[in-house]
Structure 1
Amino acid sequence: MMTSIRNGIVIAAMALTLGACASKGSPTAQYDFGPLPAAPTAAAASGGIGAIIVADVTGPAALDTERMHYRLLYADARQQQPYAYNQWTSTPLQLLTQRVKSRMAQAGVKVLSTTDAAASTTVLRMEVEDFAQNFDSATSSKGVISLRASVFRNHKLVDQKTFNRSVPAPSADAAGGARALADASDAVAADVLSWLATLPPSRE
């Protein structure tokens, strides 16, 4: 009985600490994904991808806000908690959209927006299934991303694949979560690019 009470107190204290992350006032820090890292030395060939329309990334309503969230897997894996005084500079969906576009352009792909529909019949759509900082313990967390990508040509599905990445956070706080999720996003973007390079080339 006493052990259960102590465990409950520890979990409650951890949630309060993470939720606060600052004592008062407005957000103490705003995070984005940082500068685009250098392209990998052994980057996938992108010459066969051609021009591609990249639609805005979609996902749950919780990701269409600047709030930063975490999940205590060891307490209740079904509940996400918001950091009280730390947030993203824009929504995770917007950050992911821009990161994927930037990574593809860096690799030499001609990236178009949905307003350029006349320039290409190939469309990449991505839907986020999970984007969170998950705590395995009070001192250990990971940035986790799960994303489903679909490629359409002339409104017909060419292929679809789900990508999952999990990156350890360097610290058990909002800053560590932001770094881990940025690294996970870069890894997913590289995975999507490699996958696109394996698809049959467009005949446009």
Structure 2
Amino acid sequence: MPSTVSDSASGSRAGPGRQSENAPGPDSPGTPDGPPPWTAGGAATTTAQPPAPPRPAASRRPANANGHFSEPARERPGIAMCRATALVARTLDEVLSGHRLTVTQRLALKMLNDVGPCSQQELSAQLHIDRRVMVGCIDGLEDCGLVRRERHPRNRRAHAVMPTPEAGPASAATEGGVPRPLDRAFGALTAAERRTLTRLVGEILGMG
């Protein structure tokens, strides 16, 4: 009597319509869809991960037409004064560019015409301008023939800056073009506010 081979002995044999116990089923980890995630205990987990919450849109501060320092300028008088000074200096530079003078040179000429010969140190102290800047300022005025350096009449060890005859007309020529641009620069202030500003600045500079 021929012996029969059992399914257990043949291992992978299966008859038609039968599926071997070892063949991968549709839900087994060997499907083409890839292995499912496994937990630490070895069992497949079917819990779906919740979708990531949408990222909030980045907040943007509105663009400020007055620049970065507009807010600090309202809170810190030093920043406000620096910005106002720069505004006035730019306005005067535009006026004086046609006369080949800088703001510092115009101030020095005006003081020399008003009070007479002064030393560079006196000009620096009265106009609150750095001495090194004043040296360059006087050098430029001397090159233009508007001032000359001579022995100080009251201090023979020092030199005085003296205006030449051409200094007066040169300074006067700049006066007519200055008021209107300055009116635009201070246009946000009333006449009373301008007087108050002048008084306050004078107190800051020790002229009150």
Structure number with the higher strand fraction is 1
TM superposition score normalised by structure 2: 0.19
Structure number with the higher helix fraction is 2
Query: Which structure is higher in RCO with an 8 Å CA cutoff and minimum separation 6?
Result: 1
TM superposition score normalised by structure 1: 0.19
Return the index of the structure with the highest Cα Rg. 2
